[in-house]
Amino acid sequence: MTTPRTDIRTGIVGLGNIGRYHAERLRDLDVSLIGGMDVAAEARTRFARRYDVDVYDDHHELYDAVDAVIITTPNKYHEEYAVDAFDRDLNVLLEKPLAHSLESAERIASAATESDGYCMVGFNNRFANTVQIVNNRIEQGALGDVSHVEANYVRRRGIPGRGSWFTRRKIAGGGALIDLGVHAIDLALYLLDYPTVAEVNGVARGEFGSREEYAYLDMWGDDAGPAGFDVDDSASAFIRTADDRTISLEVAWATNRPENNEFVIRGTESAAMFDLLDGNLSVHSASKVGPDHLEDTSIETHQNDTHSEEQRAFFDAVATGKSSTASVEQALAVQRVIDAIYRSSDEGRTIEIGE
Amino acid sequence: MARVQLEHVTKRYEDVIAVDDMNLDIEDGEFVCLVGPSGCGKSTTMETIAGLTRPSDGNVYIGDRDVTNLAPKDRGVAMVFQNIALFPHMDVFDNVSFGLRLRKYDDEEIERRVEQAADIVQLEGMLERMPDEMSGGQRQRVAIARAIVRNPDVFLMDEPLANLDAKLRVHMRTELQRLHRELGTTIVYVTHDQAEAMTMSDRIAVLNAGKLQQIDPPLVCYNEPANLFVAGFIGSPSMNFVQGEVVDGGLETKNFDVELDHAAVPGAGTGDTATLGVRPEDIHLARKADAVTHPTSRIEVTTDVLEPMGDEIFVYLMLGEGAERTMEEDPMESPDQLLMSVTPDTDIREGETVDVVLDRSNVHLFDAANGNALVHGIVDLPGSEPGTTPTEAED
């Protein structure tokens, strides 16, 4: 049975920037936004004024009124709001990462599997047109056996508001690795069809955010200086799957290198290369048809709004009564990799997943 | 309550075989521990029963149902893990009743079950506490209560006590035994802690390299290990192993001989290589071996390191040429060393030359080629009477 999207009563938990970003897109989807919840009065007032909906300081009251929630709170609070939503069999679109810690992520995943609600984790980059084109080509075998992914999500000077929850370990659970790495790791594993990860070796560094003289052009949010910064601002890691395929990962909020969000998917027949920042996509191969030659093909497509596509997929699944938690299990796999990279960095050794 | 059966279950991860053609038949109401070294497949076996992983081949039955393709929540199992996964923002009552609420039980039934479970695990009066206000042991009891309220056919417990301190672990062991006695529910329990397995189980399933090695009551695994792996794995410290050659009238090892009518040992022919196994407590000082009714001939040894443990002393013994050397090898695997355990009142010093005897009723022989046990105890075999009386005065 399909429920029209307009009948899916939706609420947003966490009415900060990302909450409002989601709310804007809900309008285009014809989903009925019923209300919002935030512990901060200022955020509630602003949200109520703009969207003309009820706002609450207690999520239980919001949950009484809705069928679905989008949770966009700081990482540490994902568990409370998500688990309480699962408790009521609500459908949940949960912003990435799954949680601020592996233990919390495991509890969320376990609760999700018991609930009849549909849960999806906000890996919006999967919905980029370039990613979908590459994924189709992989599925059709055009790349041959995909054996290695170069996954980069590197900003040159892009630490989000120093002193905000993003830069505090207790609330975010980490820095650039958990914030940006979560996207890059998910995308790499997604394009490899989510193999079992065997081991990781990595280093997470805090080199820029803790400096008084941190130089930057723009900052998302306010800058409270180095006192509010106790997380990593870049990480490099090497990830090996149980079937010996590999991912090399580079993530940074800040590093001395031009920014890029480039992925190279290397297969035995060809490689695909795309950058999510500019939407460029190219395919590279070699051929013996005629004189030996190398072939580089540029592919053009629209740069779509990945958050809108993600919302559409979520609400379509809710409308058709789907109850899969596949993306939660995958988000848990990503969280295990992130946790292992942090441990590898702390302990100075390779970490086997599951040890 | 229900019987749990695994039929030819194999789990492959790409090119790794985690569980290899496993057959297990766990009786209704039985407490079975799965034990084995890290990577032996015990957790994967448990996950296969739970439904957290699907077998690559084979079938899983719980009660009369083939549950191979059922989701975990539809299998009638309740799980308790090592990491005590309580929701930190919920009090004990809400944590315990979480699964019941999702299954749409009415409030009265939820309250009845939670109170009953709290009573069983002795958490009365703590239902409004938050997890961070409780000790590790109390939190683990909440996790167990959460499993109990579901009234499952089978409890699946994966190292549930591993994160508790030693004292609490011992206490919780008796709690779990009491729980099993009260509820009578089938329990499958994964542990690497032998003491847990020995004290709690009706039967122990010993796994290695994804294969079931033996499933038997704890003392049968201890006294009649099916093969070298089980013999070495069960018991701490481990059994001593000495390789020897079967000769007419006995087994000849590098440093001592044991009289034996090999014709009476199935599978042992003259010239075969066999492994003799003897536990540390079955090696006795000849001068104190009055109680050993079936001793072997005396073996001259030199004592090396002594490890007083309080209730017993571990004595490392050097044999033959090894007597001059320092300890470099694992005594369990060296033909020149043995580990003996003696009572704490034993008058023994390092560097002493003494005679020891082995208790023939607890000497094991294994086929050195495939590791399978040939015989447990070499007492009743013809020609097995000792050549020396152990009661002669020493020194």
B24 and B159 share a domain?
Answer: yes
CB contacts, 8 Å: B71 with chain A: 113
Q: Is residue A141 part of a domain?
A: yes
B164 and B254 share a domain?
Answer: no
Chain B: nearest CA to A12, how far in angstroms? 20
CATH number of domain containing B303: 2.40.50.140
B91 and B228 share a domain?
Answer: yes
Question: Is A111 close to B87, i.e. CB distance below 8 A?
Answer: yes
Q: How confident is the prediction for chain A on average, in pLDDT?
A: 94
Candidate from B72, B83, B98 with C-beta closest to A103:
B83
Among A87, A88, A246, the residue to mutate for chain B (most B Cβ within 10 A): A87
Distance between CA atoms of residues A249 and A344, nearest Å? 14
Q: Is residue A346 part of a domain?
A: yes
Q: Give yes or no for a contact between A31 and A93, defined as CB atoms under 8 angstroms apart.
A: no
pLDDT value at residue B394: 38
| pLDDT more than 90, % of chain B | 63
Distance between CA atoms of residues A281 and B371, nearest Å? 59
B61 and B135 share a domain?
Answer: yes
Question: Is A116 close to B87, i.e. CB distance below 8 A?
Answer: no
User: Could you tell me which chain A residue has the CA closest to the CA of B17?
Assistant: A242
- Give every CB contact of residue B49 below 8 A, 6+ residues apart in sequence: B4, B6, B60, B62, B77, B154, B156, B188
Q: State yes or no: ipTM above 0.85.
A: no
pLDDT in tens, A31-53: 999 999 999 999 999 999 999 99
A11 and A142 share a domain?
Answer: no
Q: Give yes or no for a contact between A103 and B83, defined as CB atoms under 8 angstroms apart.
A: yes
A179 and A238 share a domain?
Answer: yes
Indicate the number of domains in chain A. 2
Question: Is A83 close to B89, i.e. CB distance below 8 A?
Answer: yes
B128 and B142 share a domain?
Answer: yes
Parent domain of A17: 5-125+308-324
Q: What single DSSP character describes residue A74? A: -
* The residue to which tokens 């930057």 are assigned: A216
A116 and A214 share a domain?
Answer: no
B22 and B78 share a domain?
Answer: yes
Dig out the tokens for A233 from the structure. Answer: 């601002």
Candidate from B71, B72, B101 with C-beta closest to A87:
B101
User: In the predicted model, is pLDDT for residue B392 greater than 60?
Assistant: no
Question: Is B85 close to A89, i.e. CB distance below 8 A?
Answer: no
pLDDT in tens, B275-319: 999 999 999 999 988 888 899 999 999 999 999 999 999 999 998
Average pLDDT for B64-75: 90
Candidate from B88, B99, B102 with C-beta closest to A89:
B102
The two beta strands, B273-278 and B364-367, are: antiparallel
User: In the predicted model, is pLDDT for residue B264 greater than 80?
Assistant: no
The secondary structure element, H or E, covering residue B13 is strand B4-13
User: In the predicted model, is pLDDT for residue A327 greater than 90?
Assistant: no
Question: Is A113 close to B73, i.e. CB distance below 8 A?
Answer: yes
Q: Is residue A329 part of a domain?
A: no
Dig out the tokens for B9 from the structure. Answer: 């279950």
Q: Which of A23-27, A217-221, A330-334 bottoms out in mean pLDDT, i.e. has the lowest?
A: A217-221
Parent domain of B38: 4-232
Average pLDDT for A315-334: 88
**What are the residues facing B6 on neighbouring strands?**
B24, B60
Question: How does residue B384 score in pLDDT terms, banded at 50, 70 and 90?
Answer: very low
B194 and B218 share a domain?
Answer: yes
User: Could you tell me which chain A residue has the CA closest to the CA of B74?
Assistant: A114
pLDDT in tens, B155-169: 999 998 888 888 888
The alpha-helical segments, DSSP class H, found in B127-242 are 136-148, 166-183, 194-200, 218-223, 228-233
Chain B: nearest CA to A253, how far in angstroms? 31
A158 and A256 share a domain?
Answer: yes
Distance between CA atoms of residues B352 and B314, nearest Å? 15
Question: How does residue B387 score in pLDDT terms, banded at 50, 70 and 90?
Answer: very low
CATH number of domain containing B89: 3.40.50.300
Question: Is B87 close to A115, i.e. CB distance below 8 A?
Answer: no
Q: A with B: how many residue pairs have Cβ under 8 Å apart?
A: 44
- Give every CB contact of residue B285 below 8 A, 6+ residues apart in sequence: B340, B342, B346, B348, B354, B355, B356, B394
User: Could you tell me which chain A residue has the CA closest to the CA of B13?
Assistant: A242
More confident: B348 or B327:
B348
B101 and B184 share a domain?
Answer: yes
For chain B, how far is it from start to end, CA to CA, in angstroms? Answer: 62
Dig out the tokens for A95 from the structure. Answer: 């912003």
Q: Is residue A188 part of a domain?
A: yes
CATH number of domain containing A48: 3.40.50.720
More confident: A147 or B52:
A147
Indicate the number of domains in chain B. 2
Distance between CA atoms of residues B332 and B315, nearest Å? 13
Q: Is residue B385 part of a domain?
A: no
pLDDT in tens, A83-113: 999 999 999 999 999 999 999 999 999 999 8
B269 and B207 share a domain?
Answer: no
A20 and A58 share a domain?
Answer: yes
- Other Cβ atoms less than 10 A from the Cβ of A220: the count is 12
Last residue of a domain, one of B213, B232, B251: B232
Dig out the tokens for A26 from the structure. Answer: 């809900």
Chain B: nearest CA to A147, how far in angstroms? 14
B172 and B214 share a domain?
Answer: yes
Distance between CA atoms of residues A252 and A236, nearest Å? 9
User: In the predicted model, is pLDDT for residue B393 greater than 80?
Assistant: no
Q: How confident is the prediction for chain B on average, in pLDDT?
A: 88
A52 and A76 share a domain?
Answer: yes
Distance between CA atoms of residues A146 and A133, nearest Å? 15
More confident: A273 or B135:
A273
For chain A, how far is it from start to end, CA to CA, in angstroms? Answer: 44
| pLDDT more than 90, % of chain A | 86
